[in-house]
Structure 1
Amino acid sequence: MNKLTLKLCALLTALALIIPLAGCSGTDDNPSASNSNTGGETSSQDIYITEIMSSNSTGLTDADGEYSDWIELYNASSSRISLSGYYLSDNEQRPQKFELPAYTMEPGSYLVIFASGKNKMADSEIHTNFAISSKGETITLLKPDGTYASRVEVPEAASKDISYGVVLEGADAGKFMWFAVPTPGATNSGSHAQSIDGLQFDTPLLYINEYMNSNTYTLYDSEGDYNDWVEIYNPGSEEIDLSGMYLTDDLSEVDKWQIPGDVKIAAGGCLLIFLSGKDKKTDTELHASFGLSKTDEILMLSDKQGHKIDSVALKNLPDNISAGRNPQDPSVWEFYALPTPGAANASTGFSELMTASQLINRGLWISKVSATPDDDGYDTITLFNGTDSDISLAGYGISKSLADPYRYTFEKGAVPAGGTLTLYAAGLNNQGSDRNSIYLNFKVSTSGDELYLTDPNGRTVDAFSTGKLREGVSSGREGTTLADRVYFSNGGTYTGYIGNASFSTTGGYVQAGYQLSITAPSGGIIYYTTDGSEPNRNSSRYSGPITINKSTTVRAVVYADGMLNSDIRSCTLLIEDRHSLPIVCLSSDPDGLFSVQNGIFEYGPNANEDMSIEQLKDAPANFYRDWERQANIEYFTADGVKVLEFPAGIRIHGDYSRIEKQKSIAIQIRDNYGRKGVDYPFFEGNEVTHFESLLLHSGGQDWKWTKIKDAFISKMVQDDFELAVMDSQPCAVYINGEYFGLYYLREKINESYFETHDGIDADNVTIIKGNANNSAAHKSFRDLEKYAESHDMSTKENYQYLCEHVDIYSLIDWWIAASWVLHTDSGNIKVYAASDGSTKWRWVFYDNDWSLWKGNYDDPDYNYLYKMANNIGHGVGKRFRSILGYSLLQNSEGKQLFIERYAMHVQNALHPDRTIPLMESMFAEIESEMPRQRERWGAPSESTFNTYKKRLREALLKKPEMVKLNFMDAFGMSRAEVDELFTVETKYTE
């Protein structure tokens, strides 16, 4: 035996002679005889338990490669001892639970027995039929004489991979304690303590260096999410492998998240871990399986055995403020206004959280924002420099999205020390009139934007949420201390807006005498109007229910001391017979609608009804001015339920139709009115539900005849033709509580239409109307026409070039539709494409109030196909080019495609068996509304309406025959050929 073995043997023998082994009970040691005493003389032939592992995760493995718990036995005698007749157990009621095999232990030797539950002896290993609970239990070793050799009460294992064993030396000799480094099959040594807190583990030196638990703009991951994060720092001179280590925010679950393999920190380096809950590792990112909450109190990093490496008590931090260690003294924690995730804490740290939150410590920040145009017509953003030195903006970026921090990158400009610099958010990208000013390439939304200022190194130095803005109201920061947002208006400073007024009904149908109540948030005073004008402090002050005896629009606003006034809310109450259609109610200042001086529906002071259209445009009449009036729009379903209310601008729409009594009204849902678009399924079967503009169409010049023709023709080609058309829904319209007639709510053709229908960004759309030619994109279309005019389109190569730039089906369908309906206003032609050339040119089909006109549809000489086939132009005075259609027909493949597609449409979408039922259903839909339409506008009279309805039906029946004649004339086809091509049989007759 060596000296240490002799010492252990002597210690265990002495302990057995005096008291039961430390950690063993002093009574009931003999399971077969009560009150037996093991404290008497002990034979030198004794076997003892010297060490127990109850939570093995990375230590000793068995022959199966598994981390089984284990029990270490020691032969303290000077003789060989057979284990025959010895028993191990984890149940004092069953001390003979596992019988040890007849294995002979040499004197002074150790034996490790796996407490695995496998109950076997194989590969020179002994496995018990029980496992040890890490929660703690009693392990006994029973001798052949029925007395205990050892009885060890093992406490709950507070950490993995620590053992519970007997101390050999020092003041604690003879006691069972926890050991930091287990020694299976060897003498117990190293750090030991009564509890895990007293153990000293051989863990690497790593720091939790910085963390953020409220990240809204500082850093986003590859999926664009702003997760909380923690940074681990290696202050040593060698690389450290973190694989298998643990991170947790719950001390009762030390192994909450295990760092995956192949994660290392270089000497002096930092590792960023997103606390996102995504639990994944990519080439560039590491995500833990948990996130932080405001109630989390601690973050701890542990080694593979769960031994603490470092921990930090978490503070509830404001948005985008981090807490981190002082780089000179890591024992000192500070707060950072400019966090440095994944890098050394190089920015200025503050000992007080309030100080870190102050604007002055950001150096440069956004101090004021206005989203309503200044005197130059631009939104503005003001930067403030809180330092004592000028700050150059070269290389900085400003944007409305952290995904694109350098949307505008500064090439020039500086903010003076202690001063400001105003930026013009004009959407012009430095194309403004003042060469010394900075014009940004984006605008600010009145509904609220997030603005971000980023330095040349990619660090977000400030972020500002503008909040809701309106005319005369800007937002910003007051002073240089706290970063809270305030609002500025008319020289005053406000913390926010008072809430909106609430009505006792959402509006719609009520009985005469209805009592309308209006309520406001606490402290608010309500003012209201009943004529459609905008209420203010000079309007009627609400003091009690308002009696409604006729159809009325009530508009209300709320004022309160120290707050900005609320939005104006409208409530239209209808004391009317019910409509069978949806209802659109407009409310707007009547002066801007109907006064001689300012009314957009009126002739105005400089015009009258005796003037020609040219004179009215020159005067100009009010309705030919480019005037827009602010309005509030309410939309009710056919059963009278209000489903939408939104602010918008309204203006008169059309050209020649502006002189008509019943005028069309364009609705612009612009940001400067407080809302950029509405979302609602106005049009059945239309997948598009987002609209930034709409049209209340009177029917154009057909308003006094059929009302439906333009909408009907659009519906006719909507599903089967490759054309952009405006969907429609008939509705009853009220303005300021007065009935204004039957209209068709329509989509409006503009940039936002093509964004929602074709997926082309609205800023990347070029629309050409007629012969317009005023941009590079327009020129590219004209160049395409010139190419077609100057090249032999019968060749495959030249025809293919045309097909590469033009959606050939859209071109064909436009000519089919225009020739079918005899589009007399074909000068109102629009084509569109992506400005960057990523899409082909496509066609819009619209303005058909003069189409299918009596005298045209039954006149075989009125032949659009002839114009196309002979390239003689179309529209008024044949001023509009037909070269692309003509070029198509010069190629045999293109001509054949045109003829076959024409025949296909005639047999389907244009067949009378489809068009006549569609027409009849649209007439039936508006039938109940016509009496009120006539009463309001005097037209169309019942006889006129019926006459033009009959003519439209007649046109649809005659068109197949007219098309045959047109084909014979345009293409020299025989009667037999066109009869075979257009076989149209219908159940309808004239």
Structure 2
Amino acid sequence: MKLPIHRFLLSLVLSLFAPLAVGQTLFINEIMSSNSSTVADGTGDYADWVELYNPTAANVDISGYYVTDQLSNPTKYQLPVSASLVVPAGGYLLLWASNDPSRGARHLAFALSASGEEFGIFAPDGITQLDAVAFPALAANISYGRKPSGSANWVYFTSATPAATNNNAPSFSAFLDPPTFSHASGYYPGAFTLTLTSSDPDATIYYTTDGSEPNENNPSTTFTYRNRYVEVQGQTPGPILNATLQTHTYTAPIPIMDRTLNANRVSNYSSTYSYNPPYFPSEPVFKGTVVRAKVVKPGTLPSSVVTRTYLVTPEGNQRFRFPVISLAMPENYLFGYQEGIYNAGVTFDNWRAGNPSVSVNGPGFPGNFTRTGDQWEYPANMEVFDTLSTGAALSQVVDVRINGGHTRGLAQKSLRLYSSTFFTYPFFPSLPYTNHKRLILRNSGNDWGSTMFRDAVIQGMVSHLRFDRQAYCPSILLVNGEYWGIHNVRERFDKYYPSAKYGVDPDNLDMIENHYEVDEGDAVHYNAMINYLIANGPSNQANYENVKTRMDMDNFIDYQLAEIYAANTDWPENNIRCWRLRTPQYMPNAPYGHDGRWRWMMFDVDYGFGGFNGPTHNTLAFATNSDINAPAAPARTFLLRRLLENAEFRTNFINRFADMLNTTYLPSRVVGMINEYKQNLAPEMPEHIARWKAITNMTTWDNNVNVMINFAEQRPGNVRQHIRSKFSLAATHTLTVDVSHAQRGYVQVNTIAIVGTTPGVAEQPYPWQGTYFQGVPVTIRAKAKPGYRFTHWQSEATSFSDSVLVVHLTASATYQAFFEIDPDYLYNPAPYELSYACAYEFLAWESANPAGTFPESMAFVYMNQPDPTFGATLEGFTSGPYNYLSRSRVNGLGENGVAFINTTSSDPTAVNEGYPMGKVGGALLALNTLGLTKVEVSWTGGTLTPNVRPHAIRLQYRVGDSGEFSDVLGVDNQPVEYVRNATAGHSQTFTSIPLPAQALDQPYVQLFWRYYHTGTGTSGARDQLRLDDIRVGVGACESLASGNWNNVGLWSCGRVPTFCDEVVVSPGHIIELENSGMAKSLRIEADGALNMVASGLLQLGSQ
């Protein structure tokens, strides 16, 4: 029987753990598993914490002790042995469960679960338990601790006492269970009644439907707001109005229905200093219903607040095409005259009182919305709904601020969302990382009222370049259930971005904005670099080499040319940000982002692509301006101007720009992307336009988009002319490159590989043409694919044997690279010679097989991301044993093949040797298919252990040992894939799947059975799937015509039959056999015949 309150946990603690030992020297005294604002650690972050108490008269040094949140794994994390971690006599010590030991000796390699779990501390022997506790689910900023300190009595504290005695703190012996809702959040086709229940029959349920948290002590709360402000002198401000937030006592079921036709509420609050706000919607907007409820009982701690959003519409989860984000929060936090952050409010009125004659045309003047900092950050509940299911895909507590600069004054604003943990919904499924702590719901910035996607598409078209940019996901925002229009979900550039993307320590960064504003760390290193360049001209190559150790030149060049091409003139005086990991010196062999050099980040490019300047704007001259009387300010253009004095940098800059003009910025590619973004957004635009009225109608929107298209079509020629003018280049010429065999090799021109996977290069690219500058040498490289080698270049009648040529163009020129088969090339894994052998078979793999060994021509792989999704790329081969019973691993199953499973842990040491944590990705098989015109694959997939996080195994292939994999398609033209089954032991066999033509007649082909996560959840165990009974062969050798047995062209298998082949003489075909022939079996169809000529002999069966 479930008890109504958490009093049962006290008995649970006593039953799980031994009584307190006489003379116990260390206690787990207080725990907070959801710290959002109680106490910050040394980095300013609010991490979970555990308080230790030492009741003795002597200090206790816990260096080298073990702590764990899994008592079955007592050695999960060892506190640093070298550090001095002392719990003082009669005192306290906080340990931070931040999941980031790099922050300091008191930081642990795991976080605590707010839903409750265990915590224990063990002696350095890893066996002796000093203390342990099972703590319950805790609401934000509620702690669970002993009262008195060190006693056996566990209570809840609403005012926690970190690193201090618990003896005098107000406490509660019980914590009420949250209310139960009869219906989950989600889409519903029609009206229903919602029932709320409590497990305690003596408790009372309070609820709201206006976004506020239930307040049993003040059920009717009034706040003030204003909807009319003085824009110009002489106007009379509107009155101070009142609005009420209402808490209801639950006494009967709550009717839930489609409220769209109800009067607008949230939409009718002013969000600007307009005298007559033009953005109030003329018609009712879509409305869901937000219900927030909690349970209250005198003498006990109230339950946590539960928030549910109900979207009643006959269209169900197809009502919106984008993820829907529902934010529930008290309206006064946004629109209250005194306390709001989304309105003009008292801040504007105070400014107006001191500036009565200033006319405020457009945004850019003070209001409540210009408030910044922690004190203007408010809590809210966030839920996410998408088209994949009818329920909520995410529900979590977040903190909300207004985001942006000048655009805060727009009617629709950008919001910044803070998570105390991570946002677990995959807004950006193509990214190899998912651990976002902060997100922006962006109003499209200066593009608001124009296209709503200008910044997104500008960044999207350069997502492959060598600088950081923000991922994009359009969404629909509901504020307290009411439609709030399109918001673009974007990554936020702060210390957590490089941490998530590159794995650097977020608390060991320098990050600066707009050249001098320090966001993280300091500007000492940056200023030293600038000062060095001032004193040491980079035209001296040695000086330039020095600067290359301080900043990433490739990153800087790409960043500069992208801003210049886009004609973004809200830069470089504004919207410029760069970062570095703080290292004692340049570390050239460190992973990307870890070498201590400065790197730049693109954001807020709404001025670009016709936003404020047309395609003829000379942004190169703007970005290199040295005139103090003209923009951009010379101090802001100094870095680019100074570096252009160096010949190497100048050549690289010009050639990289030319490369991008020939690929990334091809009008056909850019216009195609603009239209793709437009088509994606178009179905949602009419409702957004009706809500905000910033765009007149869809015709206006189309015209705004066409401005971007016109820019894309005209920009390349203008930029080339700007480059010629800036660097005094005489002309441009067409360079044509070609290859003898596209499957054998390719050409790299400067920085771009001329292959179909390079953005802006056609799938079948040869012959390829690009435009380059006379006077700037172009480097072309012949690149042989695995299994081939370069022989020579041919240009008209001239041949060149060097694979790398430096071309000085004075006229158009053509170069063709020739390749041949390389008989000495060594592949890994070595290919199975399918062309000359029987079918390949993988039928068993033993758990006792030596670590790091693989089946013939196979390898087991790990990927470049934990919990690999479909977009993960291969990182390496596993090297571990096959008999592990836990953690990420590949298991040998004997005649049942192999099994794959991933696990993760917050402890980076909790890994199996040879298996990087959470990265197991499947199996590779290498084949040689030269001479073959048909290859068929059969295999079995199975579910060994079904779990919460769903996985699949998909069959893919690639030619060679590098590049992207492509799906192998079945007869239904769909990917061949085994999808986990809910039943353990389930299996499915795929038979006679033909490989595509691209994989035939190749010296090296890799088949990839990709094991990957198909879901969106980020908690729970993963499926363990198995792979078995792989058979790859040429299929039956069927005659294609009448003729001689030994004619290779006669047979569908692409070779003269061997003992491996099942031979079929097709209907009506007459086959003549001279001398001897071989076959595994022979079948002669109707009207077919095999004629033995002279001494003809056919041997059947095995050799």
Contact 1:754 / 1:762 at 8 angstroms: preserved in 2? yes
Contact 2:154 / 2:173 at 8 angstroms: preserved in 1? no
User: Residue deviations 1:393-443, cap 9 Å, x none?
Assistant: 596979789634139944777323xxx44659699x9xxxxxxxx996689
User: Residue deviations 1:594-651, cap 9 Å, x none?
Assistant: 2222221111123159767899988653443431111111111136632111110111
Match of 2:80 in 1: 406
Q: Does 1:842 align with 2:599?
A: yes
Query: Partner of 2:732: helix, strand, or coil?
Result: helix
Kindly state the Cα deviation for residue 848 of structure 1 after the two structures are TM-superposed: 0.9
Match of 1:79 in 2: none
Match of 1:531 in 2: 210
Aligned equivalents of 1:476 and 1:874: distance in 2? 65
Query: Partner of 2:549: helix, strand, or coil?
Result: helix
Unaligned runs of 5+ in 1: 1-317, 322-352, 430-437, 671-675, 985-990
The aligned runs of 1:358-377 (5 Å cut-off) are 358=20, 360-370=22-32, 371=35, 373-374=37-38
Aligned equivalents of 1:919 and 1:581: distance in 2? 18
Q: Does 1:544 align with 2:252?
A: yes
With over 3 angstroms needed to count, the CA separation of the structure-2 counterparts of 1:966 and 1:503, relative to structure 1, is farther
Q: Does 1:935 align with 2:690?
A: yes
- Of 488, 491, 498, which residue of structure 2 is paired with 1:744? 488
Contact 2:329 / 2:381 at 8 angstroms: preserved in 1? yes
Q: Please, which moves more after superposition, 791-800 or 614-623?
A: 614-623
Q: Does 1:702 align with 2:443?
A: no
Kindly state the Cα deviation for residue 667 of structure 1 after the two structures are TM-superposed: 0.8
Query: Partner of 1:705: helix, strand, or coil?
Result: coil
With over 3 angstroms needed to count, the CA separation of the structure-2 counterparts of 1:404 and 1:467, relative to structure 1, is farther
Match of 1:982 in 2: 771
The aligned runs of 1:226-237 (5 Å cut-off) are none
Which residue type is aligned with residue 834 of structure 1? Answer: L
Which residue type is aligned with residue 595 of structure 1? Answer: G
Match of 1:590 in 2: 331
Query: Partner of 1:910: helix, strand, or coil?
Result: coil
Match of 1:878 in 2: 633
Match of 2:411 in 1: 661
Higher helix share: 1
Kindly state the Cα deviation for residue 730 of structure 1 after the two structures are TM-superposed: 1.3
Which residue type is aligned with residue 515 of structure 1? Answer: T
User: Residue deviations 1:130-187, cap 9 Å, x none?
Assistant: xxxxxxxxxxxxxxxxxxxxxxxxxxxxxxxxxxxxxxxxxxxxxxxxxxxxxxxxxx
Kindly state the Cα deviation for residue 542 of structure 1 after the two structures are TM-superposed: 2.7
- Of 52, 59, 66, which residue of structure 2 is paired with 1:391? 59
User: Residue deviations 1:752-783, cap 9 Å, x none?
Assistant: 22122122132233321112265765211221
Kindly state the Cα deviation for residue 566 of structure 1 after the two structures are TM-superposed: 3.4
User: Residue deviations 1:437-456, cap 9 Å, x none?
Assistant: x9966898683797776889
Kindly state the Cα deviation for residue 810 of structure 1 after the two structures are TM-superposed: 0.9
Aligned equivalents of 1:508 and 1:879: distance in 2? 56
Which residue type is aligned with residue 944 of structure 1? Answer: T
With over 3 angstroms needed to count, the CA separation of the structure-2 counterparts of 1:924 and 1:534, relative to structure 1, is same
With over 3 angstroms needed to count, the CA separation of the structure-2 counterparts of 1:645 and 1:894, relative to structure 1, is same
- Of 607, 625, 633, which residue of structure 1 is paired with 2:348? 607
Contact 1:873 / 1:881 at 8 angstroms: preserved in 2? no
User: Residue deviations 1:274-301, cap 9 Å, x none?
Assistant: xxxxxxxxxxxxxxxxxxxxxxxxxxxx
Which residue type is aligned with residue 890 of structure 1? Answer: E
With over 3 angstroms needed to count, the CA separation of the structure-2 counterparts of 1:579 and 1:876, relative to structure 1, is farther
Aligned equivalents of 2:557 and 2:549: distance in 1? 15
User: Residue deviations 1:55-107, cap 9 Å, x none?
Assistant: xxxxxxxxxxxxxxxxxxxxxxxxxxxxxxxxxxxxxxxxxxxxxxxxxxxxx
Q: Does 1:906 align with 2:651?
A: no
Match of 1:492 in 2: 171
Kindly state the Cα deviation for residue 724 of structure 1 after the two structures are TM-superposed: 1.0
Aligned equivalents of 1:355 and 1:522: distance in 2? 28
Match of 1:570 in 2: 307
Kindly state the Cα deviation for residue 877 of structure 1 after the two structures are TM-superposed: 4.8
Kindly state the Cα deviation for residue 489 of structure 1 after the two structures are TM-superposed: 3.3
With over 3 angstroms needed to count, the CA separation of the structure-2 counterparts of 1:413 and 1:640, relative to structure 1, is closer
Kindly state the Cα deviation for residue 707 of structure 1 after the two structures are TM-superposed: 1.0
Aligned equivalents of 1:566 and 1:575: distance in 2? 28
Query: Partner of 1:652: helix, strand, or coil?
Result: strand
Aligned equivalents of 1:455 and 1:978: distance in 2? 73
Kindly state the Cα deviation for residue 960 of structure 1 after the two structures are TM-superposed: 0.4
Kindly state the Cα deviation for residue 951 of structure 1 after the two structures are TM-superposed: 1.0
Aligned equivalents of 1:451 and 1:874: distance in 2? 65
With over 3 angstroms needed to count, the CA separation of the structure-2 counterparts of 1:534 and 1:700, relative to structure 1, is same
With over 3 angstroms needed to count, the CA separation of the structure-2 counterparts of 1:748 and 1:501, relative to structure 1, is farther
Aligned equivalents of 1:450 and 1:798: distance in 2? 57
Kindly state the Cα deviation for residue 836 of structure 1 after the two structures are TM-superposed: 3.0
Aligned equivalents of 2:647 and 2:60: distance in 1? 65
User: Residue deviations 1:488-545, cap 9 Å, x none?
Assistant: 337233355514533414222443x332233444656432211111124353233332
Kindly state the Cα deviation for residue 896 of structure 1 after the two structures are TM-superposed: 2.0
Which residue type is aligned with residue 982 of structure 1? Answer: T
Aligned equivalents of 2:26 and 2:694: distance in 1? 65
Query: Partner of 1:817: helix, strand, or coil?
Result: helix
With over 3 angstroms needed to count, the CA separation of the structure-2 counterparts of 1:874 and 1:811, relative to structure 1, is farther
Query: Partner of 2:493: helix, strand, or coil?
Result: coil
Match of 2:575 in 1: 828
- Of 605, 621, 637, which residue of structure 1 is paired with 2:386? 637
With over 3 angstroms needed to count, the CA separation of the structure-2 counterparts of 1:983 and 1:808, relative to structure 1, is closer
Kindly state the Cα deviation for residue 965 of structure 1 after the two structures are TM-superposed: 1.6
TM-score (norm 2): 0.50
Aligned equivalents of 1:727 and 1:875: distance in 2? 34
Contact 1:730 / 1:745 at 8 angstroms: preserved in 2? yes
Kindly state the Cα deviation for residue 475 of structure 1 after the two structures are TM-superposed: 1.4
Aligned equivalents of 1:704 and 1:407: distance in 2? 59
Contact 2:59 / 2:86 at 8 angstroms: preserved in 1? no
Query: Partner of 1:918: helix, strand, or coil?
Result: helix
Q: Please, which moves more after superposition, 691-700 or 560-569?
A: 560-569
Q: Does 1:652 align with 2:402?
A: yes
User: Residue deviations 1:192-241, cap 9 Å, x none?
Assistant: xxxxxxxxxxxxxxxxxxxxxxxxxxxxxxxxxxxxxxxxxxxxxxxxxx
Match of 1:949 in 2: 705
Aligned equivalents of 1:959 and 1:709: distance in 2? 16
Which residue type is aligned with residue 704 of structure 2? Answer: Y
Which residue type is aligned with residue 592 of structure 1? Answer: Y
With over 3 angstroms needed to count, the CA separation of the structure-2 counterparts of 1:857 and 1:441, relative to structure 1, is same
Contact 2:142 / 2:156 at 8 angstroms: preserved in 1? yes
Aligned equivalents of 2:556 and 2:146: distance in 1? 55
Aligned equivalents of 2:50 and 2:429: distance in 1? 42
Aligned equivalents of 1:876 and 1:649: distance in 2? 38
Query: Partner of 1:982: helix, strand, or coil?
Result: strand
Aligned equivalents of 2:117 and 2:713: distance in 1? 56
Aligned equivalents of 1:407 and 1:601: distance in 2? 50
Kindly state the Cα deviation for residue 787 of structure 1 after the two structures are TM-superposed: 2.1
Which structure has the bigger radius of gyration? Answer: 1
Kindly state the Cα deviation for residue 559 of structure 1 after the two structures are TM-superposed: 4.0
Matched pairs, number: 615
Contact 1:819 / 1:865 at 8 angstroms: preserved in 2? no
Which residue type is aligned with residue 574 of structure 1? Answer: L
User: Residue deviations 1:920-939, cap 9 Å, x none?
Assistant: 11111121222211221112
Contact 2:568 / 2:619 at 8 angstroms: preserved in 1? no
Q: Does 1:712 align with 2:467?
A: no
Which residue type is aligned with residue 24 of structure 2? Answer: R
Query: Partner of 2:340: helix, strand, or coil?
Result: coil
Kindly state the Cα deviation for residue 881 of structure 1 after the two structures are TM-superposed: 3.0
- Of 173, 178, 193, which residue of structure 2 is paired with 1:515? 193
Which residue type is aligned with residue 666 of structure 1? Answer: R
Aligned equivalents of 1:680 and 1:425: distance in 2? 26
Contact 1:699 / 1:743 at 8 angstroms: preserved in 2? yes
Aligned equivalents of 2:361 and 2:67: distance in 1? 47
Match of 1:474 in 2: 143
Which residue type is aligned with residue 405 of structure 1? Answer: L
Which residue type is aligned with residue 250 of structure 2? Answer: Y
Which residue type is aligned with residue 552 of structure 1? Answer: T
With over 3 angstroms needed to count, the CA separation of the structure-2 counterparts of 1:726 and 1:690, relative to structure 1, is same
With over 3 angstroms needed to count, the CA separation of the structure-2 counterparts of 1:799 and 1:414, relative to structure 1, is same
With over 3 angstroms needed to count, the CA separation of the structure-2 counterparts of 1:484 and 1:750, relative to structure 1, is farther
